[in-house]
């Protein structure tokens, strides 16, 4: 493997789930330490690998099964903006950049296998068309294009009417239809050839839902003490809510249930809207006190019911939302999380912190086996409890593995004497 030097990862599964802390620090010729923040992450479909790219366009691959990682020495792509593992080829990734180029990269060498100019503006996202995963969708803020994965030949494209900006795109599970959120609060439903099928206007659907006096907006309420504390010490939350910019629309993102029968929309007016993909109508609305949801995923249950959401709030806190009781639990104790990603099997949680670090968790252990759908009583309207995985982190039990240009900060056993402690 040309240019690849594998380095060992030594870690153990902490009882609270955290088993890797990753940051990239280099030492300059002047003996100054420079830290590069990670910006992009993706997990392979088999969950054995994950890849990460930092703000210096340095790319790394982490092999969890073999407990090793390596830097892609031949990686020479600048201004990276999108990253995606190819589902049926875990040895290859797709990388997009701000100049609109799409690259296929071999993760065992960093070599560019193919490259094509897709847009004249940044590539924001990659999606693979189900069920065969043999076609790739490249997305920008203005256009969607479909390419054959084998030869990079364009098959079709979609440009919204009236030059509407594309905000978010997702494929409906177990379906070949595409769900496209546009900046003027319109959702376009496209077929597998990117032909327009129908459109859906969530704000109109919400208005129609609330016309029925039996339909109410469900709310999460702070306790008196917490409300007083939050509103007196964190006025930025209120100011941000008052001055929020809606010029790019109210709709923020979408999340589908695993069977694709319904979906949840995040709105920037601090609410979640639950809709059906069969009737295309609003069925439920949940309102939050002083934040909206930036990113979220359904969490599978033992009952296989979509009753729990893992969410990232606009305050950059990770929150577990119980849809059955309309209660929640904060899993992070600070405004520290920039983005998070769950593996396909929902076993691995990876987050990028505002510090630029990557944290890797065993997701089942992260919020604990005791956190089930019925753990929140009806009296616990809004319980803001900090996760022990962060609050009770034992600094004296952390070891650093210094590995040339990149350092992996891992949770190590005290009995492990062959790794020297080192300050980051």
Mean pLDDT per 10-residue segment, the chain (424 residues) = 77 81 88 92 94 96 94 93 92 97 94 96 93 89 95 95 90 91 93 94 95 93 43 58 67 90 93 94 93 89 70 90 87 83 90 94 72 42 34 38 41 32 27
Q: 77 and 32: one domain?
A: yes
Residue 417 located in a structural domain: yes
Q: How far apart are CA 263 and CA 201, in angstroms?
A: 14
- pTM for the full predicted model: 0.81
Task: Judge whether 266 and 296 are in contact, CB under 8 Å.
Answer: yes
Helix or strand run (H / E) with residue 240? helix 235-242
Query: Which pLDDT score is estimated for 241?
Result: 61
Same domain, 384 and 291: yes
- Closest by CA to 62, choosing from 6, 11, 126, 2, is 6
- 306 phi-psi bin (left φ>0, alpha ψ -120 to 50, beta other): beta
Q: Is residue 16 part of a domain?
A: yes
For the chain, the C-alpha Rg in angstroms (whole number) is 22
| Enclosing domain of residue 232 | 207-335+374-391
* In a domain? residue 194: yes
Cα–Cα distance, 193 to 157 (Å, whole number): 8
Give the CATH number, domain containing residue 151.
Answer: 2.40.10.480
Instruction: Tell whether 132 and 96 lie within a shared domain.
Output: no
- 86 and 72 in one domain? yes
Q: Are residues 68 and 196 in the same domain?
A: no
The residue among 60, 55, 19 whose CA lies nearest residue 38 is: 55
Q: Is residue 346 part of a domain?
A: no
The answer on 161 and 48 residing in a single domain is no
| Residue in the structure block whose two tokens are 């590069």 | 36
What's the domain count of the chain? Answer: 3
Residue 348 in domain: no
Assess if residue 195 is contained within a domain.
Answer: yes
- Residues 304 and 265 occupy one common structural domain: yes
Residues 99 and 34 in one domain: yes
State the pLDDT at residue 417.
Answer: 29
Note the pLDDT of residue 160: 94
Residue 392 C-alpha from the chain's centroid: 25
Write down which residue in 167, 200, 233 finishes a domain: 200
- The DSSP H or E segment spanning 228 is helix 224-233
CA-to-CA dists, residue 123 to 101, 143, 240, angstroms: 7, 10, 29
pLDDT at 412: 35
Say if residue 180 is in the same domain as residue 298.
no
Q: Are strands 49-54 and 38-43 parallel, antiparallel or unpaired?
A: antiparallel
Cα–Cα–Cα angle for 307, 310, 314, nearest 5°? 130
The token duo for 240 is 């941000």
Residues 381 and 246 in one domain: yes
How far is it, in rounded angstroms, from Cα 119 to Cα 144?
Answer: 10
Examine the fold and report which residue of 149, 167, 200 is the final residue of a domain before the chain moves on.
200
pLDDT attached to residue 12: 72
Q: Per the domain annotation, does 355 fall within a domain?
A: no
Q: Which of 200, 221, 245 represents a domain boundary (last residue)? A: 200
Tell which residue, 268, 155, 139, 298, has the closest CA to residue 203.
Answer: 268
Does one domain contain both 151 and 219? no
Q: Do 56 and 130 sit in the same domain of this protein?
A: no
* Residue 216 within any structural domain of the chain: yes
């Amino acid at each position: 493997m040309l240019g690849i030097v594998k380095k060992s990862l030594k870690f153990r599964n902490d009882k609270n789930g955290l088993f890797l802390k990753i940051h990239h620090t280099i030492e300059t010729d002047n003996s100054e330490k420079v830290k590069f923040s990670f910006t992009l992450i993706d997990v392979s479909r088999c969950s054995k690998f994950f890849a990460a790219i930092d703000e210096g366009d340095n790319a790394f691959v982490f092999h969890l099964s073999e407990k090793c990682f390596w830097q892609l020495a031949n990686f020479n792509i600048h201004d990276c903006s999108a990253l995606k593992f190819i589902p049926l080829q875990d040895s290859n990734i797709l990388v997009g950049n701000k100049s609109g180029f799409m690259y296929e990269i071999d993760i065992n060498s960093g070599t560019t296998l193919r490259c094509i100019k897709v847009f004249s503006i940044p590539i924001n996202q990659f999606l693979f068309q189900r069920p065969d995963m043999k076609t790739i969708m490249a997305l920008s803020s203005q256009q969607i294009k479909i390419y054959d994965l084998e030869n990079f030949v364009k098959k079709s494209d979609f440009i919204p009417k009236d030059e509407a900006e594309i905000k978010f795109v997702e494929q409906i599970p177990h379906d070949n239809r595409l769900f496209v959120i546009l900046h003027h609060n319109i959702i376009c439903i496209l077929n597998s050839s990117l032909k327009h099928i129908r459109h859906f206007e969530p704000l109109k659907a919400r208005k129609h839902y609330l016309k029925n006096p039996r339909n109410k907006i469900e709310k999460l309420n702070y306790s008196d003490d917490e409300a007083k504390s939050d509103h007196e010490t964190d006025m930025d939350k209120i100011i941000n809510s008052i001055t929020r910019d809606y010029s790019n629309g109210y709709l923020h993102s979408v999340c589908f249930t695993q069977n694709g029968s319904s979906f949840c929309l995040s709105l920037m007016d601090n609410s979640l809207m639950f809709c059906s993909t069969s009737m295309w109508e609003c069925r439920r609305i949940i309102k939050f006190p002083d934040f909206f949801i930036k990113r979220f995923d359904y969490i599978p249950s033992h009952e296989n019911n979509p009753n729990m959401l893992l969410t990232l709030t606009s305050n950059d806190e990770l929150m577990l939302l119980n849809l059955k009781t309309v209660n929640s639990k904060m899993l992070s104790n600070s405004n520290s999380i920039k983005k998070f990603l769950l593996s396909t099997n929902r076993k691995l949680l990876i987050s990028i912190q505002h510090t630029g670090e990557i944290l890797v968790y065993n997701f089942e252990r992260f919020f604990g086996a005791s956190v089930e759908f019925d753990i929140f009583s009806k009296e616990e309207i809004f319980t803001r409890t900090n996760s022990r995985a962060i609050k009770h982190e034992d600094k004296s039990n952390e070891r650093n593995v210094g590995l040339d240009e990149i350092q992996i900060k891992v949770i190590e056993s005290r009995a492990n004497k062959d790794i020297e402690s080192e300050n980051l």
